[in-house]
Amino acid sequence: MAAELVTAWRPRVPGVAEVFHAHFVDHAYPLHVHDAWTLLIVDDGAIRFDLDRHHRGAAGAASVTILPPNVPHDGRAATRHGFRKRVVYLDTAVLPATLAGAAVDSPGFDDALLRLRIHQLHEALDRPGDELEAESRLALIRSRLQRHLDRHFHEPAAPRHLAAALRELLDERSATGLTLQEAGTLLGSHPGHLVRAFTASFGLPPHRYLLSRRIERARRLLLAGWRAADVAAEVGFHDQAHLHRHFKRFVGVTPGNYAA
């Protein structure tokens, strides 16, 4: 029997109940339900599944599958070598229950941009310290899923003052950080509105702005003789490795080389 590989974890990202990565060859899911939305992409192979007594499938480089909560489904490999998949289980607060019927009727979308955003979400969820990026990407994914599932859905325009207000919050909390959910509560707006308003006004998403502020402060402290580990803690990075990864990406060299 071929090896079955599974990785699962619960990130500190509002709206995400679980992340699940798997490579299955022989395993077949029996009929079951989840209490969360199942957002699925297949990286290799193909899956056959029945959803609410209808035969379905999920495969292809641009394919995205969304399964609604509490609707019975199963799953098995549609190819001899099995399949590799990545799943994000989303709390029911992320998408309204009224969209369940549309998801049963059309659970799959060939949407290359949506699939790319889900891939980027998984990458962010796999990196401790990048929770704000994951939240930002989830907000955009949520809006795109709603447009697929609800033909009457219309995203209201975000007031321009939200972008400036969010930037002030990010400046005040650059070291301690904040979640988009918290920012939305403070500013009386949905996280998706905040992401779009901020990006439209300042040309980059909130998480990238926060990283820029942290990197700028890290540069000053490194030149002042601070140790990289102390800098990471002072400016708000998860740990020294988190600082190292983003510092090299933004500046082109490691913190140690920069200080030298």
CA–CA separation, 138 vs 133, rounded Å?
Answer: 9
Domains and CATH numbers, the chain: 5-149 (2.60.120.10), 161-203 (no CATH), 208-259 (1.10.10.60)
Place of tokens 């599958």: 65
Q: Are strands 54-59 and 63-67 parallel, antiparallel or unpaired?
A: unpaired
- Mean pLDDT within 61-71: 89
The predicted-structure confidence for 148-174, as pLDDT tens digits, reads as follows: 998 877 766 666 789 999 999 999 999
For residues 194 and 166, is the Cβ–Cβ distance under 8 A?
yes
- Residues of the chain with pLDDT > 90: what percent? 76
What pLDDT does 230 receive?
96
Report CA-CA distances (Å) from 60 to 110, 115, 224, 249: 8, 10, 51, 31
Nearest Cα neighbor of 231 from 210, 247, 248 is 247
The predicted-structure confidence for 10-27, as pLDDT tens digits, reads as follows: 999 999 999 999 999 999
